Structure 1
């Protein structure tokens, strides 16, 4: 199994958001994590990153995350938060090349070969024309694709993204989801993506997990399951916090 979640209980003090969650991911694929605000989506990611205390087990490739030191540095996990804010000038290629951080020692500089890798990733995403631009001058959609380029360069086995299409227009939403699908199918990555954009999931192959349901289980992504879960979120009761 790539990922196993066993009887996960997580929250903040007396505020338990996830109760006895269990599921297994047997092979690389795209997984959408959905649910109402407060259903525990980001909490699940925080548990995965060992940022909050939890009960139960989180296993990656058979190893308990509690006993696995620095999974990001080992190329097992990479993470893109909901908001990544940079308020100082930085060239696009300088930001993307930082995706190679785990291959560097603390004081190592990035060399010509590293920048060539960054350029290749930007070319794959059709962003070569932005390579020398100041990141802070880009549109929201362009910035998100640059962050994804940096994530690609990390080349982790498991990729976690918290609402990567938030506040993007239709064009960039489709482009981001298409990219995530390619990572799973062509690159063999396990992609865990928190999203509220359910209808953008319809063309994709993979699974969804609705944390607002009383007993969440993995469901294959189909037009029917997307519509059913959209209806549940629109008409079902909000989770009790």
Structure 2
């Protein structure tokens, strides 16, 4: 990413001259005040916002990536509202395989096997036949993570995945996504939950800094970020 400038029409620019080069694989925690550009950055990377500057993903310019290529490179978990209609957990996770099929193709036995494995990996195989709206907030977020893992992308973008979760599920979510990086994926995760970052390895990007840059994740860099976020609005 080089000299990225991005914002919204008729509103202020939220990201200005942002530059960094991220090695792959890696885990990156993205922090900052509300309105500092965390979600904006993800919308640039997912092709939802125009931008100035250069954004390359595995050597390919983001704005020139056709949708199928972008889907193979990038998986995205946005902030989600409640899901009001009843759907079994297994079927919802299975939707993560959608982009591997044509519009009118059906799911195969392999797809169901992969969905079951994803549920097992996040620790909720016992919820396979439950209706998604009946689950707790933490259980629902694990379902979304299982679905995301089935996209089999090289880069995962997670926007506030632990928002409104209790301590137990915050820890579970961070353990899972940090493990994806250890297994060879690149994970960019925006968060306000600094406490959960203290024992993780990777990088920290604080968009509230005057000139944000990648810093190694450590208790010291997390404390410095907390001090800035608590004293500067």
| Same topology, TM > 0.5 | yes
**Residue 154 (structure 2) pairs with residue 165 (structure 1):** no
Q: Does 1:65 align with 2:62?
A: yes
Q: Higher strand proportion, which one?
A: 1
Deviations 1:145-164 (A, max 9, x none): 00000011111000000000
Cα distance in 1 for residues equivalent to 2:71 and 2:47: 15
Alignment partner of 1:79 is 2:76: yes
Q: TM-score if structure 1 supplies the norm length?
A: 0.93
Aligned match of 2:31 in 31, 34, 45?
Answer: 34
Q: Report how many aligned residue pairs link the two structures.
A: 232
| Alignment of 1:147 onto 2:141 | no
Q: Residue 11 of structure 1 corresponds to which residue in structure 2? A: 7
Aligned to 2:189: 193
Q: Residue 231 and residue 73 in structure 1: after superposition, are their counterparts in 2 closer, same or farther (change >3 A)?
A: closer
Q: Distance in 1 between matches of 2:48 and 2:70?
A: 16
Shift of 1:83: 1.2
- In 1, the alpha carbon distance for the partners of 2:69 and 2:33 equals 28
- The CA RMSD measured in Å over matched residues stands at 1.2
Is 1:90 equivalent to 2:87 in the alignment? yes
Supply the distance in 2 between the matched residues of 1:27 and 1:81 (Cα, whole angstroms). Answer: 22
* Residue of 203, 206, 211 corresponding to 2:202: 206
Quote the offset at 1:85 in angstroms: 3.2
Q: Report whether the alignment pairs 1:230 with 2:215.
A: no
Q: Which runs of 5+ in 2 are unaligned?
A: none
Q: Distance in 1 between matches of 2:84 and 2:69?
A: 25
Deviation string 1:51-88 (CA, Å, 9 cap, x unpaired) is 12211011001100111011566411010011143210
Q: Is there any run of 5+ residues in structure 1 with no aligned partner, and where?
A: none
1:109 Cα shift? 1.3
Aligned to 1:174: 171
